[in-house]
Amino acid sequence: MTAPTTDQLPVVVIGAGPIGLATAAHLILRGIEPLVLEAGPSAGTAVRDWAHVRLFSPWAEVTDPAAEKLLAPTGWTRPDAATYPTGGDWAERYLQPLADLLGDKVRYGATVTGVARAGRDRIVDAGRDEQPFTVHLRTTVGREERITARAVIDASGTWSTPGPLGADGLPALHEKTATDRIAYRVPDLNDPAVRARYTGRRTAVVGSGASAFTTLALLADLAKEENGTHAVWILRRGIGTNTYGGGDADQLPARGALGLRAKAAVEAGHASTVTGFRTQAVEREGDQLVLVAEDGRRLDPIDEVIVLTGFRPDLSFLSELRLGLDERLQAPTALAPLIDPNVHSCGTVYPHGVNELSHPEQGIYLVGMKSYGRAPTFLALTGYEQARSITAALAGDQEAAERVELTLPDTGVCGGAGLFDEPENAQRSGGGCCAAPSTLQIGIGAPATASGGC
């Protein structure tokens, strides 16, 4: 049997999240065969992990035009464009129908463990660009497989790799042995088991983004109903004018309201603040934990810790490829200056495509939240534009690949998540964040390296 030419091979997309599935839709419309590999059991596995959290972006800004074009003949209609979905809504009413339409072009329970040029490790030059990619994966039953691909688009997100408690970017001393008391997600207090975990307890909340605001507001509501419930908000810096966000002046009213609720929780005594505290170690004291700062300060014993310090990309399975990444953000070198969180919010990130997302290794692309590395400024709309541009380039349409077809909303601000089931938040105008919980950048990638992400 004659081996297929490289152009006859599929494009492997890692992750069946919003951007991964949108990429597959664009590939199909370009006549290119996609194969989506998803580690989880369903589309948007990671999104379902924060199903209780409402996005700051309305439906109009979280569905992709190419995906809508494929879905339209099935009778699917986009929900009211002006309303704001929860993560659960997004997964059930858009992502899963799209994945179901793609059928066997999406494989679940497939964790990517490595990507390389066929027959070439990263140091070999000879014939490198002519070789297809080999994608190594492990199935849920433990079987190993190899897939040959013409290109690889990694949309696995960052959800599987949350930032640690340690202030130096590494786990605090004994952090890994205290995971029975440490969580890294916004809690779903509608879940009786989760609610019981925090009821009547002292909980440390570490982080300064919208995820922390959300969690403080939730714990404050719990404290109003359950005596003994108290939050200790730990900030690595001091409290300044922007600690609680933009308040009434915030470009996203729902986010501003969330910051004000966090502030109200502190002022009402449901939460106390500890500033300039950079955690170095975790110590056990009976059934409780004591956090120790690098300056020697020790907090009073606490029952639970919720760490909301951002996410970072898992690059381990790409180690045999020649990636060009910024040394700070771990984003593609040409993209990094455009998304630097020291300069930009989501609304000031210039739309970009294949030129900014290319690497020294031709044919490999990081898209969605994965492309932003550690920057929390990602927009779903930006990810859809990435998918459009890259697939145009793979189809040989360079003019379309380099053309900008995205106009970002004027109110685009970064930072992530609203409270679940907040009707007053669900109708307000705002714009554009990909929307998982805060510095918890939606990442939205599912568990494991082949997660589904933005």
pLDDT digits (tens, 9 = 90+) for 332-381: 999 999 998 877 665 566 779 999 999 999 999 999 999 999 998 788 99
The residue out of 284, 307, 330 marking a domain boundary is 307
The residue out of 276, 307, 338 marking a domain boundary is 307
In a domain, 184, yes or no: yes
Residues 217 and 82 in one domain: no
Residues 118 and 186 in one domain: no
Q: Are residues 28 and 96 in contact, defined by beta-carbon separation less than 8 angstroms? A: no
In a domain, 269, yes or no: yes
- We report the CATH number of the domain holding residue 100 as 3.50.50.60
Residues 71 and 133 in one domain: yes
In the chain, the amino acid numbered 178 is: A
Q: Tens digit of pLDDT for each residue in 410-431?
A: 544 343 334 433 433 333 333 3
Q: Is 423 exposed, middle or buried (0-12, 13-18, 19+ CB in 10 A)?
A: exposed
Q: What are phi and psi of 429, to 5 degrees?
A: -80, 150
Residues 271 and 234 in one domain: yes
Q: Is 226 exposed, middle or buried (0-12, 13-18, 19+ CB in 10 A)?
A: middle
Q: In what order do the strands lie in the sheet with 304-307?
A: 182-183, 304-307, 202-206, 230-234, 271-274
Residues 298 and 320 in one domain: no
The total of other beta-carbon atoms located within 10 Å of residue 372's CB is 32
In the chain, the amino acid numbered 371 is: S
Residues 331 and 416 in one domain: yes
Residues 153 and 13 in one domain: yes
In the chain, the amino acid numbered 406 is: L
In a domain, 170, yes or no: no
Q: Is 301 exposed, middle or buried (0-12, 13-18, 19+ CB in 10 A)?
A: middle
pLDDT for residue 123: 97
**How far is the first Cα of the chain from the last one, in angstroms, to the nearest whole number?**
39
How many angstroms separate the CA atoms of 25 and 39, rounded? 19
In the predicted structure, residue 13 carries a pLDDT above the cut 70: yes
Residues 188 and 264 in one domain: yes
Taking 3-state DSSP, the helix, strand and coil percentages for the chain, each rounded to the nearest 5, stand at 30, 20, 50
Q: What is the pTM of this model?
A: 0.87
Q: Which band of pLDDT confidence, cut at 50, 70 and 90, is reported for residue 222?
A: very high
- Buried b / exposed e across 193-206, counting CB within 10 Å, b at 16+? eebebbbebbbbbb
Q: Tens digit of pLDDT for each residue in 137-176?
A: 999 999 999 999 999 999 999 999 999 999 999 999 999 9
Greatest mean pLDDT range, 208-217, 287-296, 425-434: 287-296
pLDDT for residue 109: 98
Q: What are phi and psi of 176, to 5 degrees?
A: -70, -20
In a domain, 137, yes or no: yes
**Average pLDDT, rounded, for the chain:** 86
How many angstroms separate the CA atoms of 436 and 190, rounded? 18
- Residue among 387, 411, 299 at smallest CA distance from 60: 411
Range of the domain at 44: 6-160+311-426
In a domain, 439, yes or no: no
Count of structural domains, the chain? 2
- Residue among 276, 279, 278, 311 at smallest CA distance from 186: 311
Residues 23 and 154 in one domain: yes
Residues 26 and 139 in one domain: yes
Residues 248 and 337 in one domain: no
Q: Tens digit of pLDDT for each residue in 180-212?
A: 999 999 999 999 999 999 999 999 999 988 788
- The DSSP symbol for 93 reads I
The residue out of 286, 307, 328 marking a domain boundary is 307
In the predicted structure, residue 284 carries a pLDDT above the cut 50: yes
In a domain, 445, yes or no: no
pLDDT for residue 57: 84
In a domain, 168, yes or no: no
Q: β-strand 106-107 against 34-37: which pairing, if any?
A: parallel
Percent of the chain with pLDDT over 90: 72
Residues 316 and 299 in one domain: no
In a domain, 449, yes or no: no
Three-state DSSP state, 389:
helix
